[in-house]
Chain A
Amino acid sequence: GAVVSQHPSWVICKSGTSVKIECRSLDFQATTMFWYRQFPKQSLMLMATSNEGSKATYEQGVEKDKFLINHASLTLSTLTVTSAHPEDSSFYICSAWPGGDTQYFGPGTRLTVL
């Protein structure tokens, strides 16, 4: 149980284009999902908290107009990186919270911007 999927697992795009990443909880409903980014050999940094049916809450320093988050249902949240640039290249990981204390993480999406 508690499986979270992400799609795509990796994506390469040209600078200036937008990329959408999906995060799905497969066997539970998640009122809250979280989006993290992770640079090589570094830990996870929380970008935003996504609540179903409401606007996302962004961490300090994260541009909300650049990283658009939509939590359309209790099993799906999407992160769109708009006008991506090489410095946005990173490993993006989502987690889903089914209630209780534990978050369950997706397998991550590797984004490379050329």
Chain B
Amino acid sequence: EDQVTQSPEALRLQEGESSSLNCSYTVSGLRGLFWYRQDPGKGPEFLFTLYSAGEEKEKERLKATLTKKESFLHITAPKPEDSATYLCAVQAGAAGNKLTFGGGTRVLVKP
């Protein structure tokens, strides 16, 4: 069974204080690892897709990396508007296009 675990569950940061979120996974045949941002009361917003170990993708203050067992989402010099829940999901070879989500990391950036 595919499993995705995110840590920490919650993260409080001061504005400008860089940090990293972890997503560890156990899947049979990873097809893709996805990062989404979710604001309260909203649907997830797509951020990145990573396909193979060593791959990195960046968008503004966010950078996602992937190894064979885990992915990291680095937030560099965060701003209050980066406050959100960050969700990691995997798509495995045997599961078609279904996504298995981790529990999410709630990030709060204080000014």
Q: Which residues of A contact B (CB under 8 A)?
A: 2, 4, 6, 32, 34, 41-46, 49, 91, 93, 95, 97, 101-108, 110
In Å, the complex CA distance between A102 and B36 comes to 11
- For residue B103, which residues in chain A have a CB less than 8 angstroms away from its CB? 42-43
Instruction: Name the one of A6, A49, A104, A110 contacting B46, with C-beta atoms under 8 angstroms.
Output: A104
In Å, the complex CA distance between A4 and B45 comes to 11
Query: Which 7 residue pairs of A and B lie closest in terms of their CB atoms, listed nearest first?
Result: A105-B43, A43-B101, A105-B44, A107-B43, A108-B43, A44-B101, A43-B103
The answer to whether B43 and A103 touch across the interface, beta carbons within 8 angstroms, is no
User: How many residues of chain B have a CB within 8 Å of chain A?
Assistant: 23
Q: Which residues of B contact A (CB under 8 A)?
A: 31-32, 34, 36, 41-46, 49, 87, 91, 96-104, 106
In Å, the complex CA distance between A95 and B91 comes to 14
In Å, the complex CA distance between A6 and B42 comes to 11
Q: For residue A88, give the distance in angstroms from its CB to the closest CB of chain B.
A: 18
Instruction: Name the one of A4, A41, A44, A108 contacting B41, with C-beta atoms under 8 angstroms.
Output: A108
Q: For residue A45, give the distance in angstroms from its CB to the closest CB of chain B.
A: 8
In Å, the complex CA distance between A6 and B43 comes to 10
Q: For residue A42, give the distance in angstroms from its CB to the closest CB of chain B.
A: 7
The answer to whether A49 and B96 touch across the interface, beta carbons within 8 angstroms, is yes
In Å, the complex CA distance between A43 and B106 comes to 11
Given A101-B32, A103-B97, A43–B87 Cβ distance below 8 Å? yes
- For residue A97, which residues in chain B have a CB less than 8 angstroms away from its CB? 97
In Å, the complex CA distance between A55 and B33 comes to 28
In Å, the complex CA distance between A43 and B3 comes to 13
